Amino acid sequence: MTDFPSGFRWGVATSSYQIEGGVAEDGRGRSIWDAFCEVPGAVAGGDTGAVACDHYHRWPLDVALLGDLGVDAYRFSVAWPRVQPTGAGLVERRGLDFYRRLCEALLERGIEPFPTLYHWDLPQALEERGGWRSRDTAMRFVEYATVVHDALGDLVTKWTTFNEPYVSSIVGYGEGRHAPGAREGHGALAAAHHLLLAHGLAVREMRGVEGHEFGIVLNQSPSVPVSASERDVAAARRHDLLLRRQFTDPLFGGRYPEDYEEVFAGVTDLSFRHDGDLAAIGVPLDYVGINYYYRQHVADAPHRDPDPATRTAIDIGIDTTRLPDVPRTAMNWPVEPAGLTETLLGLRDRYPDLPPVYLTENGCAYPDRPGFADQERIDYLRDHLAAAREAMTAGVDLRGYFVWSFLDNFEWAHGYKHRFGLVHVDYETQDRTPRASYHWYREVLARQRRSTD
Ligand code: PNW
């Protein structure tokens, strides 16, 4: 693993609601995740992000740990409700100042801040006006993005609009497993479209500063049929539309997927598509971030709701529970590094105009081991790095790699049960303890630096 090119960026990633806590500090407004955590049964153990890793107060310590790790870049997200408590108008200076201090401290240690503007914490006030179902939320996002861009533009050069619009729209408004917990068809598909539109319009608005680069982060993985039967192959193709092509075709192909109307017939009337939207969404990007965790295995299955008019967006006649006989992580995700190579090659082959790629998330949860000896995580990361390297050898323009996650954190609907961190967090004392994987990654980074010096 000593053969990554010089200039390749090495980092770790987190997100605001998952680590910050301090939800009532410095004028922060309520987000859809604060509200969702109050719904009985929504989050395992009744956990919430109210305290999380208390990063809002302990960030200097966390930056010191990042410095010691030796990363070139740190991917985090900006909480919209800290910057605009009601999602519109009024700007909370103290919220922006928090991120300024963080960025300055990172830069002092030679770590590039790599912020994402939206990692799922929509101001609750906007949800009450329709949330991402509403086109107006896209306009509000453009305003928010420009506020942050103006405030941090002297410290940050790489600007990521959204983390995983699939999860915000389909898991949040279709499946209901994430905030705001809706189970809709048309609403979820409208949300997906409005997230893409918000991305395109915001990049168009922010562009112009010399040296600034813009991108979006997508969760990607191959959708593999469980058999070669025509039905399973068709099911995998529908799944690929839901998870990937409804986002990547407009972003990088200048088109809506050709099978969209057939798969969602009767679910949506497409009234959210306006003239000019495709051109806005297809704004040229400087990079795309890919989050990869595992391969999707898809079988044909009957629709749960036979009536398209009341069907949710995820009810597309598929079963994704038939997993192969391979090792699993604590999330029950199959460990399949080859799926990462396939993902990167597949994207490159489908979109000739694909911008340079960063792997903006890759990692795993495992039960805690005595002495923080997380050999399984080391194996996972090593094998996925090798798979990424293979894709580069095959011509993929991969520019960097970020481990998910720097710290154990609030794993959404799973609460604090699953631990993804290179650093263990004791939620009673807030003590941070680097795991074996932290020391391993530190050594990988040191070796890279030596070999490319
Ligand atoms: C990512 N789901 O994606 C997120 O970007 C992180 O915030 C998260 O902690 C990490 O993966 C590990 O789960 C997810 O469908 C993608 O439930 C999909 C889901 C959850 C998270």
Q: Which one-letter amino acid corresponds to residue 293?
A: Y
Identify whether 24 is part of a domain.
yes
Write down the pLDDT at residue 1.
Answer: 56
DSSP classification of residue 134: S
Please count the other Cβ atoms lying within 10 Å of the Cβ belonging to residue 302: 9
Low-confidence ranges of the chain (pLDDT < 50): none
Confirm or reject: Cβ of 219 under 6 Å from ligand 1: yes
Counting ligand 1 atoms within 8 A of each CB, the residue from 291, 294, 333, 425 with the most, and so the one to mutate, is 291
Length of the chain: 453
Task: Report d(CA 113, CA 63) in Å as an integer.
Answer: 11
How confident is the model over 71-83, as pLDDT tens digits? 999 999 999 999 9
- The answer as to whether 243 is a domain residue is yes
Tens-place pLDDT, residues 234-257: 999 999 999 999 999 999 999 999
Q: How many whole angstroms separate alpha carbon 451 and alpha carbon 7? A: 12
CA angle 167, 172, 178 (to 5 degrees): 90
**Residue nearest atom 7 in ligand 1 by C-alpha distance:** 15
Looking up residue 125, the CATH number of its domain turns out to be: 3.20.20.80
CA-to-CA distance for 3 and 393, rounded, in angstroms? 10
Q: Which of 113, 141, 99, 44 is nearest to 413 (CA)?
A: 44
Alpha-helical runs (H) found in 70-123: 80-83, 93-108
Expressed in angstroms and rounded, the spacing between residue 323 Cα and the centre of ligand 1 is: 19
Give the residue numbers spanning the domain of 34. Answer: 9-452
| Domain-embedded: residue 1 | no
Q: Pull the structure tokens for residue 443.
A: 């050594």
Pocket of ligand 1 contains residue 175 by CB under 6 Å: no
- The tokens of 86 are what? 């009601």
Residue 285's contacts (CB-CB under 8 Å, 6 or more residues apart) are 203, 214, 215, 216, 251, 355
Please give the number of the atom of ligand 1 that sits closest to the Cα of 331. 13
The pLDDT of residue 451: 86
Q: Which atom of ligand 1 is nearest to the CA of 409?
A: 9
Q: Is the pTM of this model over 0.80?
A: yes
CA distance 411 to 32: 15
One-letter identity of residue 304: R
**Residue 2 confidence (pLDDT):** 53
Cα(167) to ligand 1 centroid in Å equals 8
- For residue 166, report the distance from its CA to the centre of ligand 1, in Å: 10
* Among candidate residues 124, 450, 108, 139, the one with its CA nearest the CA of residue 280: 139
> What separation in Å is there between the alpha carbon of 274 and the centre of ligand 1?
30
Q: Which residues are catalytic?
A: 164, 361
Phi first, then psi: give them for residue 338, nearest 5 degrees: -60, -25
Q: Which residues pair with 229 in a beta bridge?
A: none
184: alpha, beta or left? (left if phi > 0; alpha if psi -120 to 50): beta
- Determine the Cα–Cα distance for residues 242 and 236; give it in Å rounded to an integer: 10
How far, in Å, from the CA of 412 to the mean position of ligand 1? 8
**How many folded domains does the chain comprise?**
1
Interface predicted TM-score (ipTM): 0.93
Return the ligand 1 atom nearest residue 164 CA.
5
Q: Which one-letter amino acid corresponds to residue 323? A: L
Ligand 1 pocket test, candidate residues 170, 242, 361, most atoms within 8 A of CB: 361
- CA–CA separation, 218 vs 167, rounded Å? 9
Ligand 1 neighbour 163 (Cβ under 6 A): yes
Question: Is 4 inside a domain boundary?
Answer: no
- The rounded distance, in Å, linking the Cα atoms of 330 and 67 is 29
Whether 51 is in a domain gets the answer yes
Establish if 359 belongs to a structural domain.
Answer: yes
Q: Which amino acid makes up residue 36?
A: F
Ligand 1 atom with the shortest distance to the CA of 163: 5
